[in-house]
Amino acid sequence: MIFECGPAGADKKVCEYLARELQPELEIMSVTLDNKPKLISDCGKAAAQLLQNGCDRVLIIWDLYPAWREKKQKPCRRDDRLAIHKSLEHSGVPLAKTHLICITEELEAWLIADGRAISAVLSTSTHPVSIPDKKKTETVKNPKKYLMKLFKEQTGKPYSDLQHAEKIARQMPDLHKINRCPSFARFAAKIHG
């Protein structure tokens, strides 16, 4: 898998955890490319190396709206896809061995699908919390901001993707609710091969 985050990034941790939930025997090799522009420009070299190291397929996973969110320029999934294909072709990577997973808007769109998991992370023995599921989470504008608001209201502390994203994923009792997210359903299908 190739990600647009650092080596300890939330996207990497959550996707690797969920991939193992989907297919426990899966062997995963990951490359992190720090940010979306670097992922788009360098994913070809990274994919070529992963395939050379014995990977059967490569998943390239990125957020449509990166964390730094430029308001002037609306991101375009098609433009991202074309630029990624160009990088892959330039490095001689067969497109058939790669799968693109663009999360609309960002990773938190997957996490807010399961209110049970968020509730479990926010609850304490003296302060139980019940957060409803969000339906059609990939239409929620800025899901990270939604989680920040929930965390601030319930705990007085901010949501941090590095600290909380994987905790939320690990609290999901099953993957039925997150599977309603089209990009997660695509991720799951590509993990199963």
pLDDT exceeds cutoff 60 at 68: no
Q: Please give the DSSP secondary-structure letter assigned to residue 8.
A: T
Q: What is the fold, at CATH topology level, of the domain defined by 2-108+178-192? A: Rossmann fold (3.40.50)
> Looking at residue 69, what is its pLDDT?
52
Average pLDDT of the segment spanning 5-21: 97
- The number of residues in the chain equals 193
Characterise 92 by phi-psi region: left (phi > 0), alpha (psi -120 to 50), beta (else).
Answer: left
Confidence of residue 74 (pLDDT cuts 50, 70, 90): confident
- The domain segmentation of the chain, as residue ranges, is 2-108+178-192, 112-170
**Which whole-number Å values give the CA distances from 144 to 27, 30, 166, 189, in the listed order?**
29, 24, 14, 25
Is 165:108 a contact under the CB 8 Å cutoff? Answer: yes
Q: Quick check: 60 pLDDT over 80?
A: yes
Asked whether residue 66 carries a pLDDT value surpassing 90, the answer given is no
Q: From residue 36, give the alpha-carbon distance in Å to each of 4, 12, 22.
A: 5, 14, 26
The whole-chain average pLDDT of the chain stands at: 94
pTM, two decimal places? 0.93
Question: Looking at the chain, which runs of residues are DSSP E strands?
Answer: 2-3, 31-32, 58-63, 98-103
Q: What is the pLDDT of residues 30-58, one digit of tens each?
A: 999 999 999 999 999 999 999 999 999 99
Name residues whose C-beta falls within 8 Å of residue 188's C-beta, 6 or more positions apart in sequence. Answer: 22, 175, 179
Please check the confidence at residue 72 and state whether its pLDDT lies above 80. no
Q: Could you give the CA distance from residue 127 to residue 119 in angstroms, rounded to a whole number? A: 10
Residues 125-177 pLDDT 10s: 999 999 999 999 999 989 999 999 999 999 999 999 999 999 999 999 999 99
Instruction: List the structure tokens of 64.
Output: 């449509």
pLDDT for res 75: 84
